[in-house]
Amino acid sequence: MPQACPALVLSLEEPRTEVLPAEQHILPFAQDDNADPSSRRVETQTEIIVSPGENPKRLDHFLASRDPDFSRTALQRLILDGHVTVDGHVTKPSHRIKPGDTIRLVARRAEPLDIKPEPIPLEILYEDDALLVLNKQAGIVVHPAPGNWTGTLVNALLHHLQESALSNVGGKERPGLVHRLDKNTTGVMVVAKRDQAHASLANQFKRHTIKRVYEAVIWGVPKKREGMIDLAIGRDTKARKKFSVRTAKPKASSTTYRVTERFNQLAARVDLFPQTGRTHQLRVHLSAIGCPIAGDPTYGRKKADVIHDVAVPRVMLHAKVLGFIHPSTQEPMDFEAPMPADMADVVRQLRGKLHSPIAVAAPSHGAPGEGTESPFGHGQNRGP
pLDDT band at 180; cut points 50, 70, 90: very high
pLDDT band at 371; cut points 50, 70, 90: very low
Please report the pLDDT score of residue 364 as a whole number: 64
User: Looking at domain 124-199, which CATH architecture does it have?
Assistant: 2-Layer Sandwich (3.30)
CA distance 357 to 354: 9
Instruction: Give domain 18-110's CATH superfamily.
Output: RNA-binding S4 domain (3.10.290.10)
Please report the pLDDT score of residue 72 as a whole number: 87
Bridge partners of 259, per DSSP, are: 270
Question: Is-contact 281 253, C-beta < 8 A?
Answer: yes
Q: What is the DSSP string of 246-277?
A: SBSS-B--EEEEEEEEEETTTEEEEEEEESS-
CA distance 343 to 135: 15
- For residue 117, how many other CB atoms are within 10 A of its CB? 14
Amino acid identity, position 288: A
CA distance 99 to 51: 5
Question: Is-contact 170 113, C-beta < 8 A?
Answer: no
Q: Give the three-state DSSP class for 125.
A: strand
CATH of domain 211-354: 3.30.2350.10
Q: Which of 299, 304, 312 is nearest to 347 (CA)?
A: 312
> Over 60: is that where the pLDDT of 314 sits?
yes
Domain with CATH 3.10.290.10 in the chain: 18-110
Of the two residues 235 and 361, the one the predictor is more confident about is: 235
Is the pTM value of this prediction over 0.75?
Answer: no
Please report the pLDDT score of residue 7 as a whole number: 34
Backbone φ and ψ of 138, nearest 5°: -70, 150
Please report the pLDDT score of residue 22 as a whole number: 30
Question: Is-contact 111 37, C-beta < 8 A?
Answer: yes
Of the two residues 142 and 18, the one the predictor is more confident about is: 142
Of the two residues 123 and 383, the one the predictor is more confident about is: 123
Query: Residues with catalytic annotation?
Result: 182
Question: Is-contact 343 351, C-beta < 8 A?
Answer: no
